[in-house]
């Protein structure tokens, strides 16, 4: 069986003056799946979405979206996609209902009024339907925006940081909507800085760094790649070297030290290195053990590991972790 | 074409709803000329050589055209406001006509302007301006006025889409109030020094103002010969667009639309990408 790709890009490039925002983006999103494009601020995620939704013209490379060439068949691409931007792309001067009716008309929906009412109801906006969208809260605007992207069920839905800046309740509503869409067979490409979001929603994750895809895989594959993190805390500083020697032997990796906590840790990709075994081995070696953990990696670990060669300040890192 | 008509109508509805929800700018730009008519007509008019009533009759067509030229400012402001909003990105990702959004804006502006001109006409009639020509000529005059407004709006839409921010568009837009000062909208140009007169008379506002004066008051020159100061609608030795005001106005409007409509549509479609 061959896989049909809803989004397939090869070597997409986009420059803005001196800034090489996207440099050779290769992306393949299988039909009916959710692809999470994950990366820090400035990685080129938004530019990638703007290229794939015909808002920008690529300087080089090619892409097919819903089977249509991005540049030569832009009109056909536009008929197949829904887009929800980083900022709510609705008209603040119009009410929620007026917005949806307008977009329904532009989509040639026969009963625009009924479609608007249906979507307002689905996204819990009926009560606020006749207020200007500019008076909506962030979560309501985002929901209206998503509703506007779903006027006619798109083959491919692009969501650019759909939950950035939302409170947990609003975020959960958006997540539920994305899951429901996937259940209906819509292909979703979402960008996010939130590792948890990609983990929760995506079938595949494309890790984007400095304008290109650094790695792709399922959340599980990415986790397997980085392995687990084993850490032990010993009773006194003198025992740290001893613990490090055991960890080195078990993992084959250079251990790292947190002197002030008397902690030693190492990454492992060996699935047999479980917590009981770790404790047994350390105990047998006579290490005065206070605490030990073997924790599965979070996507934070995956992310930091795979993009580790960049020189980031600690504050940049902080933004990635939510 | 039917796509453009359909989408354009939807966008016209959007613009009219926006103006209805937020009518401040439209009301301000349409009531301002009434204030100016009273201020210029009575304050400046009393200092001019020609009698006040005659000056006010001269001024009304000029103010109508100067107000139409404000289409540059409102066009800029609305287009700049729109282009920095996410909703433009949504329109650009919809399978709709590329020209519909700017066309909707220009036509909505025309609808609002047509309605907004009525109060100025009424105040004009109250202070001594008269429609002396035939009904057909008056209708032609108003048609020409709206055509000029349409052309001015396209200049504004293009500049608005070019501008970097709403504030920049607002500042540059309000500078356009100077354009009528360099024309015969408020004062006759016959006494200006040669080069300045040429500049003023090649200003499209002069051609359209003169055209309105000739169409509204074809007998103005004749009636003035009976004693009033000779402010003939078409002064002697005027530049071609003023000497042939109707043809000159139509030519100016055609040129402006032919240049700025495609530029604006193209700029909108690409979004500067």
Label residue B219 by pLDDT band (50, 70, 90).
Answer: low
Cβ-based neighbours of A48, under 8 Å, separated by 6 or more: A12, A22, A25, A27, A37, A191, A208
Helix (H) or strand (E) run with residue A232 in it: strand A228-234
Q: How far apart are CA A203 and CA A205, in angstroms?
A: 7
Chain B residue numbers with beta carbons less than 8 Å from the beta carbon of A105 are 10
Chain B residue numbers with beta carbons less than 8 Å from the beta carbon of A78 are 93-95
Bigger pLDDT: B214 vs A301: B214
Q: What's the mean pLDDT when you consider all of chain A?
A: 86
pLDDT tens for each residue of B13-37: 998 988 888 788 788 888 888 998 8
Q: Do A106 and B96 touch (CB under 8 A)?
A: yes
Contact A209, A309 (CB under 8 A): no
Q: How far apart are CA A91 and CA B84, in angstroms?
A: 11
Q: Nearest-CA neighbor of A123 among A112, A136, A111?
A: A136
Task: State the pLDDT at residue B222.
Answer: 44
Q: Which residue has the tokens 């026969």?
A: A110
Q: How far apart are CA A162 and CA A49, in angstroms?
A: 12
pLDDT tens for each residue of B49-64: 777 778 888 899 999 9
Which of A79-88, A281-290, B149-158, B180-189 shows the lowest per-residue confidence on average (mean pLDDT)? A79-88
Residue A83 bridge partners (DSSP): A158
Could you say which residues from 111 to 150 on chain B have a Cβ atom under 8 Å away from some Cβ of chain A?
A: none
Bigger pLDDT: B97 vs B190: B97
Label residue A306 by pLDDT band (50, 70, 90).
Answer: low
Tokens of B27: 């009301």
pLDDT tens for each residue of A111-150: 999 999 999 999 999 999 999 999 999 889 999 999 999 9
Residue B65 pLDDT more than 90? yes
Task: State the pLDDT at residue A317.
Answer: 37
Q: Do A91 and B22 touch (CB under 8 A)?
A: no
Q: Do B90 and A87 touch (CB under 8 A)?
A: no
Q: How far apart are CA A76 and CA B188, in angstroms?
A: 57
Query: Alpha-carbon dihedral of residues A102, A103, A108, A110, nearest 10 degrees?
Result: -60
- Chain A to chain B Cβ contacts (< 8 Å): 69
Helix (H) or strand (E) run with residue A209 in it: strand A204-209
pLDDT tens for each residue of B77-135: 889 888 878 788 888 888 888 899 999 999 999 999 999 899 999 999 998 888 888 88
Residue A175 bridge partners (DSSP): none
**In 10 A of CB B236, how many CB atoms?**
8
pLDDT tens for each residue of A43-69: 889 999 999 999 889 999 999 999 999
Q: Nearest-CA neighbor of A225 among A269, A261, A182, A195?
A: A269
What's the gap between Cα A90 and its chain centre?
23
Task: State the pLDDT at residue B227.
Answer: 44
Residue B228 pLDDT more than 60? no
Query: Which residue of chain A has the CA closest to B7?
Result: A106
Q: Do B22 and A81 touch (CB under 8 A)?
A: no
Cβ-based neighbours of B1, under 8 Å, separated by 6 or more: none
Residue A14 pLDDT more than 80? yes
Helix (H) or strand (E) run with residue A223 in it: helix A219-226
Task: State the pLDDT at residue B122.
Answer: 93
């Amino acid at each position: 069986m061959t896989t049909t790709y809803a989004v397939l890009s090869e070597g997409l490039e986009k420059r803005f003056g001196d800034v090489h925002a996207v440099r050779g983006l290769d992306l393949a999103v299988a039909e009916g799946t959710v692809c999470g494009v994950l990366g820090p601020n400035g990685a080129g995620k938004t530019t990638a979405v703007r290229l794939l939704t015909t808002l920008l013209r690529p300087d080089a490379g090619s892409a097919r979206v819903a089977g249509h060439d991005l540049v030569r068949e832009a009109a056909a691409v536009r008929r197949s996609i829904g887009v929800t931007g980083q900022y709510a792309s609705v008209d603040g001067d119009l009410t929620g209902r007026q917005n949806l009716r307008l977009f329904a008309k532009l989509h040639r929906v026969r009963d625009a009024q009924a479609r608007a009412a249906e979507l307002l109801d689905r996204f819990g906006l009926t009560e606020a339907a006749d207020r200007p969208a500019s008076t909506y809260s962030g979560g309501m605007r985002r929901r209206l925006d998503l509703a506007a992207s779903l006027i006619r069920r798109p083959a491919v839905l692009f969501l650019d940081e759909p939950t950035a800046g939302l409170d947990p309740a609003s975020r959960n509503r958006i997540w539920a909507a994305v899951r429901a869409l996937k259940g209906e067979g819509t292909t979703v490409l979402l960008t996010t800085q939130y590792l948890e979001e990609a983990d929760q929603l995506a079938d595949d994750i494309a890790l984007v760094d400095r304008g290109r895809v650094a790695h792709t895989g399922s959340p599980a594959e990415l986790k397997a790649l980085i392995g687990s993190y084993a850490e032990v805390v010993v009773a006194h500083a003198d025992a740290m070297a001893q613990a490090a020697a055991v960890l080195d032997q078990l993992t084959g990796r250079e251990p790292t030290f947190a002197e002030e906590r008397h902690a030693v840790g190492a990454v492992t990709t060996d699935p047999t290195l479980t917590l009981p075994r770790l404790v047994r081995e350390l105990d047998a070696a006579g290490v005065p053990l206070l605490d030990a953990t073997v924790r599965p990696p979070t996507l934070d670990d995956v992310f930091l590991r795979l993009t580790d060669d960049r020189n980031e300040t600690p504050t940049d890192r902080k933004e990635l972790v939510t | 074409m039917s796509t453009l008509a359909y989408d354009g109508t939807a966008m016209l509805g959007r613009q009219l709803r926006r103006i209805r929800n937020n009518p401040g700018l439209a009301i301000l730009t349409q009531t301002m000329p009434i204030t100016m008519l009273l201020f210029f007509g009575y304050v400046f008019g009393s200092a001019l050589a020609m009698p006040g009533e005659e000056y006010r009759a001269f001024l009304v067509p000029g103010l109508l055209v100067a107000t139409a030229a404000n289409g540059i400012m409102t066009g800029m402001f609305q287009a700049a406001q729109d282009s920095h909003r996410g909703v433009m990105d949504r329109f650009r990702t919809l399978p709709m006509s590329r020209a519909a959004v700017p066309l909707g804006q220009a036509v909505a502006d025309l609808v609002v302007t047509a309605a907004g001109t009525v109060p100025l006409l009424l105040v004009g009639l109250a202070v001594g301006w008269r429609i002396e020509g035939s009904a057909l000529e008056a209708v032609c005059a108003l048609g020409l006025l709206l055509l000029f407004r349409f052309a001015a709006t396209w200049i504004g839409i293009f500049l608005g889409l070019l501008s970097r921010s709403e504030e920049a568009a607002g500042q540059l837009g309000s500078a356009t109030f100077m354009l009528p000062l360099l024309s015969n909208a408020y004062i006759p140009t016959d006494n200006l020094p040669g080069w300045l007169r040429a500049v003023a008379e090649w200003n499209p506002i002069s051609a359209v103002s003169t055209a309105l004066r000739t169409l509204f008051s074809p007998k103005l020159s004749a009636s003035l010969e009976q004693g009033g100061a000779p402010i003939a609608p078409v002064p002697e030795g005027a530049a071609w667009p003023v000497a042939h005001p109707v043809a000159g106005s139509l030519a100016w409007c055609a040129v402006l639309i032919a240049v700025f409509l495609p530029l604006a549509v193209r700029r909108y479609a690409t979004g500067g990408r």
